[in-house]
Amino acid sequence: MTLMFNAVAVFLLLTLLVALVRIWRGPTSSDRMLASQLFGTTGVALLLVLAEAQVAPALRDVALVLALLSVLAIVGFVTRVIQIDRRAS
C-alpha cells in the first residue's frame, strides 16, 4: 500500500507541475492567482497522501494550514484588484 501511496504522490506532483506551467503563462493576473487555489486542492491531497506514505503525521497539519492560507492569499490579491479598479474608475 505504501508503494501505491508513493506512486499517487508522484503523480499528483506531476499534475501540479504541469498545471503550474499553464498558470505561469498567464495571461492575466487572475489566471496566475489560480495557482493558490491549485495548491489549496492538489497541494492538500499531495500532503495528505505523503503523510500516509511517509508515516509523517505532521504533514496533515501542514495540509490544514495550506488550505487555510490559500484563501488568505487570494483575499489579499482580490482586495488589491478591487482597489486598482476603484482608482481606474
Partner 1 sequence: MKTVATILGRVILLLLVWWAFTEGDVSGLGFGLVIAILVAAVSMRLYPRGAARIRPVQLWLFVLFFLGRSVVAGIDVARRVLSPSLPVDPGYFTVHLTLPEGSPRWLLANALSLMPGTLSVSLDGPRLELHCLDTQSSVEEDVRAAEQKVARVFGLPLPDETCHSEGAR
Partner 2 sequence: MAFVQVVQGILLVTGCLFFAIGTLGLFRFSDTLLRIHALTKVDNLGLGFIILALVLNAASLAIGVKVLLIWVVALAASATSAHLIARAARLQQGDDSEPKGSHD
Interface residues with partner 2 (CB under 8 A) are 1, 4-5, 8, 11-12, 15, 18-19, 22-23, 28-31, 33-34, 36-38, 40-42, 44-45, 48-49, 52, 57, 60, 63-64, 67-68, 70-71, 74-75, 77-78, 81-82, 85
Report helix, strand or coil for 1: coil
**C-alpha cell read off for 89:** 474608475
Give the shortest CB-87-to-partner 1 separation in angstroms: 19
Residue type, 35: A
Choice from 14, 56, 64, 81 touching partner 1 (CB under 8 A): 64
**C-alpha cell read off for 45:** 491531497
* Distance in angstroms (rounded) separating the CA atoms of residues 23 and 89: 28
Site for partner 1 contains 27 (CB under 8 A): no
Site for partner 1 contains 85 (CB under 8 A): no
* Distance in angstroms (rounded) separating the CA atoms of residues 16 and 13: 5
